[in-house]
Amino acid sequence: MDKVTKLASQRAVVIFSRSSCCFCYSVKSLFHELGVNAAVHELDEDPRGAEMEKALVKLLGRKSPVPAVFIGGKLVGSTDRIMTLHLGGNLVPLLRDAGALWL
Amino acid sequence: MRRRRRLTNGGLDVRPVARGRPPAWRGVAWRSLDDVAVSAERRLTAPRSQDRPFRWKEASFLCFWVDVCSNNMSSASTQFASPRKMGIFEPNHQIGMWGDSFKADSSQNTGASSIVEAEIKLDNRLEDSPRTIVGPSKKYDQEANKPTDKVLRRLAQNREAARKSRLRKKVYVQQLESSRLKLVQIEQQLDQAKQQGVYIGGNLGESTLGLSGSVNSGVTAFEMEYGHWVEEQNRQTSELRAALQAHVSDIELRMLVESALSHYDNLFHIKAIAAKSDVFYLMSGMWKTAAERFFLWIGGFRPSELLKVLSPQLDPLTEQQVISVCNLQQSSQQAEDALSQGMDKLQQNLAETLTSDSSGTSGVSDYMGQMVNAMGKLEALVSFVNQADHLRQQTLQQMYKILTVRQAARGLLALGDYFQRLRALSSLWAARPREPA
């Protein structure tokens, strides 16, 4: 859990994902499209991935915790939440506030 | 004064045989020569119909008999006039001869038999030259046999049988015609149903082993529900149109708009259930019509396309609204692209999983491992379909937030209309006349 929070606060946008998960790839692709330089942590490539996954499950309350997006150190949620925010036009302001975007 | 002729004489049945003649004649029991003559005349001069071939033999026989009997009764009457009118006889000449023969043979029976013989001869003659019936009169003279009741009876029976078989044929043909029409109708319905995505069960081969029963039921349940959904959608679209034309109050419009939006929510809900049951079916779009399938994107319509359809309908928009709509268009496009790229990546991954280690050195366990891996990847499809539906839902919700109630109503009407027209286009396309292969 600490590892998760530690990593989450290192950058404006932090994404925990799995390299094999294509769904996570969509989120990554979206942030890339928005011009955000997100820090991506692949849980299956990290030695302490299983631990972090468990922590994320507790945080998110879902069976599959990835992708998990943290903006400005705070947990935003999974793909659903990101899409809702983005269509609502709220994602970009959030990113701007966190300092991930400068435009 | 006319003598009445007994009709049951020697089995000679001169009651009119119903051979497709005009209905007024049916069931008429002749009781006098007058009737015979009149009927004969009518038969010869009545308009021909298809199932009543001109019965020369019959009609001429009747004319003969009328002639003969009239002569027998020695009364110059209108019966003579009738045959003459028909131009078949040379009555004067013939009557004389017949009259002689009758005088020679005065009994009723023999008279009748002579007539029968004449008729038989007449048949032969008439086959060749229906219009000249002068000959038989001579033959008639020569005949003096006893009346053959059996022959008469058989002839009558033949007539009856022929009539019945003609009737049967008519009925049969009518049945054939109606069956053919029905067949054409059923074929059309089947075509339409195929276009509307009735699942003919051909794709169930890929579904999980032993679960094809439950998968099928999930699919059929969805199909049924979707059918109801479309009906309700059409109804709501008409209701919106009527409400907008009638300029109802904003409150009423709001109710209509919200029920329309929740109707879309229903669709996404049943799609989510179907995705768990058979995601490939949902993604194939077979539950939609052909033209809708053309626009298919991850199991449904594109959110950005939705906005493109709606925007021109929404003028006038305030500046703020224009900006918001533009932003929404952009973000929905970006979200769409993100999902599309995710799908591409999935395809790539799946292909890689299935093509790795095809050198054959690995063994069964590796093959099974490969399959398990691939299965795991496929499960991601469900997430994609759900997320695509989520995008669609969010786009609709956001539009509702940006627009006024009236604009939202117009927008939903435009959307409902658009999908209705796509469905209609599919039907027209399916029913178009095709060039023979």
The residues pairing with A40 across neighbouring beta strands, listed in sequence order, are: A15
pTM of the model: 0.59
CB < 8 Å to B341, chain A: 25-26, 29
Nearby residues of B212 by Cβ (< 8 Å), 6 or more positions away: B204
- The top-scoring range by mean pLDDT among A5-14, B30-39, B200-209 is A5-14
CA distances from B195 to B67, B87, B248, B267, B302 (A): 72, 66, 37, 20, 21
Note the residue count of chain B: 437
Q: Measured between beta carbons, which residues in chain B are less than 8 angstroms from residue A87?
A: 328, 331-332, 335, 391, 394-395, 398
Whether the Cβ atoms of residue A13 and residue A31 lie closer than 8 Å to each other: yes
Candidates A33, A63, A87, A103: best to mutate against B (most CBs of B within 10 A) is A87
Q: Does A95 touch chain B (CB under 8 A)?
A: no
**Residue among B297, B383, B384, B391 with most chain A CBs within 10 A, to mutate:** B383
Run of H or E residues at A14: strand A13-17
Report which DSSP code applies to B9: G
Which helix H or strand E contains B375, and what residues bound it? Answer: helix B364-402
Which pLDDT tens digit goes with each residue over B178-190? 999 999 989 888 8
* Lookup result for tokens 């021909």: B48
Percent of chain B whose pLDDT exceeds 70: 59
For range B330-357, the mean pLDDT: 88
Residue A63 lies in a domain: yes
Q: Is A39 part of a structural domain of the chain?
A: yes
Asked if B22 and B53 touch (Cβ cutoff 8 Å), the reply is: no
User: Does the pLDDT of residue A43 top 60, yes or no?
Assistant: yes
C-beta atoms of A25 and B394 within 8 A: no
The residue type found at B227 is G
Q: Do A34 and B387 touch (CB under 8 A)?
A: no
The answer to whether A89 contacts B335, with C-beta atoms less than 8 Å apart, is no
Asked if B394 and A88 come within 8 Å (Cβ–Cβ), the reply is yes
pLDDT digits (tens, 9 = 90+) for B105-155: 444 444 444 444 444 444 444 444 444 444 444 445 445 455 688 899 999
Q: Are B285 and B197 in contact (CB under 8 A)?
A: yes
Are B19 and B52 in contact, with CB atoms under 8 Å apart? Answer: yes
Which residues from A are below 8 Å from B383, CB to CB?
Answer: 23, 79
pLDDT band at B364 (very low <50, low <70, confident <90, very high): confident
List of long-range contacts for B181-184, beta carbons under 8 Å, 24+ apart? none
- Pairs of residues, one from chain A and one from chain B, whose beta carbons lie less than 8 Å apart: 68
In the predicted model, what is the mean pLDDT of residues A35-53?
Answer: 84
Tens of pLDDT, residue by residue over B26-77, are 444 445 556 655 665 666 565 555 545 555 666 565 555 555 555 555 444 4
The 8-class DSSP code of residue B17 comes to P
Give chain B's mean pLDDT.
Answer: 74
- Min Cα separation A43/chain B (Å): 17
Neighboring chain B residues of A26 at a CB cutoff of 8 Å = 338-339, 341-342, 384, 387
Residue with tokens 């000249």: B132
Number of domains in chain A: 1
A93 has pLDDT over 80: yes
A25 to chain B: closest CA residue = B342
Whether residue B304 has pLDDT greater than 80: yes
Residue A71 is part of which domain span? Answer: 2-98
pLDDT at position B85 over 60 = no
The CATH number for A63's domain is: 3.40.30.10
Question: Edge to edge, what strands does the sheet with A68-71 contain?
Answer: A39-42, A13-17, A68-71, A74-77
Tokens standing for residue B191: 């075509």
d(CA B102, CA B105): 5
Q: Provide the b/e sequence for B347-378 (b: ≥16 CB within 10 Å).
A: eebbeebeeeeeeeeeeeeeeeebeebeeebe
Element at A68 (helix H, strand E): strand A68-71
Does any CB of chain B come closer than 8 Å to the CB of residue A29?
Answer: yes
CB atoms within 10 A of CB B53: 11
Contact A94, A85 (CB under 8 A): yes
Amino acid at B380: A
Where is pLDDT greater, at B17 or B245?
A: B245
**A103 within a domain of the structure (yes/no):** no
Give the closest of B328, B337, B380 to A87, CB-based: B328
Minimum-distance CB partner of A33 among B338, B380, B390: B338
CA distance B83 to B91: 8
